[in-house]
């Protein structure tokens, strides 16, 4: 039995890594078809981005191994993780001539899909 793997990464996604991890934790270890169903009906904004990366990882798995046919139910999400990206720092006016710092966060999302055939 051969093991096939492929990954997809999307970098510099707007939104905090903490919020993205809430969505990514839902799909880790699930089959690809089940994970797509979970992400499709999740109301969080991060779920849309995660679904695109998951579909890309599955497409990479098919492209990488052209002679082998894969089933979405047979492929699983082996690993899914979120790393923090750079922060954009903005200034918001505050009382008495002060300024508060606003940190606009970004994240990097990586999803690894594997299949046993």
Q: Contact 105/20 with Cβ under 8 angstroms?
A: no
What is the rounded radius of gyration, in angstroms, for the C-alpha atoms of the chain?
18
Give the whole-angstrom CA distance, residue 80 versus residue 25. 8
Is-above-0.85 flag for pTM? yes
> Quick check: 108 and 80 in contact, CB under 8 A?
no
Alpha carbons 115 and 117: distance in angstroms, whole number: 6
Q: Which fold has domain 3-116?
A: Ribosomal Protein L22; Chain A (3.90.470)
**Which residue bears the tokens 């098919």?**
62
Tell me which residue has tokens 């990586």. 110
- pLDDT tens, residue by residue, 47-103: 999 999 999 999 999 999 887 888 888 899 999 999 999 999 999 999 999 999 999
Domain boundaries, given as residue ranges, for the chain? 3-116
């Amino acid at each position: 039995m051969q093991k096939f793997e492929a990954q997809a990464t999307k970098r510099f996604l707007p939104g905090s890594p903490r919020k993205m991890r809430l969505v990514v934790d839902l799909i880790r270890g699930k089959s690809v078809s089940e994970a797509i169903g979970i992400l499709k009906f999740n109301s969080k904004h991060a779920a849309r981005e995660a679904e695109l990366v998951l579909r890309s990882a599955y497409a990479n798995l098919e492209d990488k191994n052209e002679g082998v046919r894969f089933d979405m139910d047979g492929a699983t999400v082996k690993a899914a993780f979120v790393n923090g990206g750079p922060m954009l720092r903005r200034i918001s006016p505050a009382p008495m001539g002060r300024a508060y710092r606003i940190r606009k966060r970004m994240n990097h999302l990586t999803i690894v899909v594997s299949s046993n055939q």
